[in-house]
């Protein structure tokens, strides 16, 4: 893999994921090196890639700088939910949130240029188009044992198809 580096004195970020009786994930994050990421540490090749995706597991100021510097398709998964500058939302070609995050951001997700995808767990997903139309997708009926990683698993194919 290219453009991977270690930060001296920084441990790798770790997420511990438990699954509650209701099947919902309970996540505890120790950010480690993720918390130390600054835009100065990101190679120019990454910023000029065809597509860049960010999650809110790195510092918000870093994401805000990335949004200004990225020259290609810019996607952001607003997890975990936290306040973020409006210009980041306006710059995004694709925004991905779950139901809880969608409620957190509320009207801030309306009237944007890009696509907004709301993942709905076992109920599928909704894609809100800039023209106001909504596309829904229902998943096949399954009995999941564990939905760990579902967020990134839905983000990557969306990015690929956009």
| Eight-state DSSP code of residue 157 | H
Do the domain assignments include residue 29? Answer: no
The domain tally of the chain equals: 1
Domain CATH number, residue 112: 3.40.1190.20
Is the four-CA dihedral 66, 68, 69, 71 of positive or negative sign? Answer: positive
Rounded CA separation 58/63 (Å): 7
Distance (Å, whole) CA 131 – CA 26: 35
Say if 150 falls within a structural domain.
yes
Helix/strand/coil for 88: helix
Is 71 part of any domain?
yes
User: Is 148 buried (19+), middle (13-18) or exposed (0-12) by CB count in 10 A?
Assistant: middle
Whether residue 128 lies inside any domain: the answer is: yes
Per-residue pLDDT 10s for the chain (162 aa) are 666 778 889 999 998 888 778 767 788 889 999 999 888 888 887 888 899 999 999 999 999 999 999 999 999 999 999 999 999 999 999 999 999 999 999 999 998 988 999 988 778 889 999 998 999 988 888 877 766 666 666 666 666 666
Domain span at residue 87 reads 43-161
Strands 94-98 and 73-77: parallel
Does the residue 97 lie in any domain? yes
pLDDT score recorded for residue 45: 78
**Inside any domain, residue 100:** yes
pTM of the model: 0.86
Spatial distance between the Cα atoms of 162 and 157, rounded to a whole number of angstroms: 9
- Whether 27 is in a domain gets the answer no
Residue at 3 is within a domain = no
The DSSP line for 104-141 is HHGGGGSS-SSEEEEE-GGG-EEEE-TTS-EEEE-PPP
Structure tokens at 162: 């956009």
The total of other beta-carbon atoms located within 10 Å of residue 53's CB is 19
């Amino acid at each position: 893999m290219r453009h991977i580096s270690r930060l001296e004195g920084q441990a790798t970020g770790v997420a511990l994921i438990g699954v509650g009786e209701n099947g919902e994930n309970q996540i505890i994050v120790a950010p480690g090196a993720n918390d130390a990421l600054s835009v100065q540490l990101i190679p120019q090749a990454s910023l000029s890639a065809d597509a860049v995706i960010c999650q809110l597991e790195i510092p918000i100021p870093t994401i805000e700088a990335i949004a200004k510097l990225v020259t290609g398709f810019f996607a952001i998964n607003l997890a975990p939910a936290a306040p973020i500058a409006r210009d980041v939302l306006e710059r995004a070609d694709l925004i991905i949130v779950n139901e809880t995050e969608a409620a957190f951001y509320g009207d801030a997700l309306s009237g944007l240029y890009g696509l907004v995808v709301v993942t709905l767990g076992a109920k599928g997903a909704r894609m809100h188009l800039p023209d106001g139309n909504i596309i829904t997708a229902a998943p096949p009926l399954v009995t999941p044992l564990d939905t760990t990683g579902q967020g990134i698993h839905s983000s990557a194919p969306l990015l690929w198809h956009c």
